[in-house]
């Protein structure tokens, strides 16, 4: 199954984009569209990434999540190294078609975070009354919601550079 690159419908009117059934995604100035990735069964947010046109196309063609890695500046077939492939069970697009939601089943251990946790969002930030006496953001302590890592990143990724940018 192959699709012709960049063969999207042209974005002509707000009504077409919001209320129509044509696929007319908007990639940003860097050629990217944000992607929200949740677990198909639990609804948990696993990760947030970006697709360029090629990653978007490969994801649709193969049914496996492909992203564009901004740190490595290349197409990224999620799970190619780790085995943590994300099978896309549902692919949605939002009202103005500038964001994608994929609901996935993760193979192997089911984790999606390079640090070793199941979800990238393993820490909570106190909010409202939970802030108690904090006066500065730097007074705040994050709370861990996952107590144990699912896998050891060193075993899985070896000496590959960490993708986090300070």
Among the listed residues 18, 31, 74, 105, the single contact to its own copies using CB under 8 A: 18
Pairing verdict, β 86-93 and 74-77: unpaired
Pairing verdict, β 143-144 and 123-124: antiparallel
Q: Which two tokens stand for residue 164?
A: 């986090």
Q: Comparing C-alpha atoms, which of 65, 70, 36, 34 is closest to residue 50?
A: 34
Task: Say whether residue 166 binds its own copies (CB under 8 A).
Answer: yes
For the segment 20-49, give every residue that binds its own copies (CB under 8 A).
20-23, 26, 34, 36, 38, 42-45, 47-48
Task: Say whether residue 82 binds its own copies (CB under 8 A).
Answer: no
Task: Give min distance, CB of 81 to its own copies, in A.
Answer: 17
Among the listed residues 81, 83, 143, 154, the single contact to its own copies using CB under 8 A: 143
Task: Say whether residue 95 binds its own copies (CB under 8 A).
Answer: yes
Pair 53, 31: CB distance under 8 Å: yes
């Amino acid at each position: 199954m192959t699709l012709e690159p960049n063969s999207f419908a042209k974005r002509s009117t707000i009504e077409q984009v919001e209320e129509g059934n044509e696929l007319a995604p908007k990639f940003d100035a860097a050629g990217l569209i944000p992607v929200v990735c949740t677990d198909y069964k639990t609804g948990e947010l696993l990760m947030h990434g970006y697709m360029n046109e090629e990653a978007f196309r490969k994801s649709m063609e193969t049914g496996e999540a492909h992203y564009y890695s901004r740190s490595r500046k290349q197409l990224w077939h999620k799970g190619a190294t780790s085995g943590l492939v994300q099978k896309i069970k549902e692919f949605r697009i939002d009202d103005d078609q500038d964001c994608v939601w994929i609901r996935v089943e993760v193979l192997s251990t089911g984790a999606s975070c390079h640090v070793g946790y199941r979800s990238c969002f393993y820490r909570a930030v106190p909010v409202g009354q939970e802030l108690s006496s904090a006066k500065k953001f730097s007074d705040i302590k994050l709370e861990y919601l996952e107590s144990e890592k699912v896998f050891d990143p060193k075993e899985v990724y070896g000496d590959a550079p960490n993708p986090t940018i300070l």
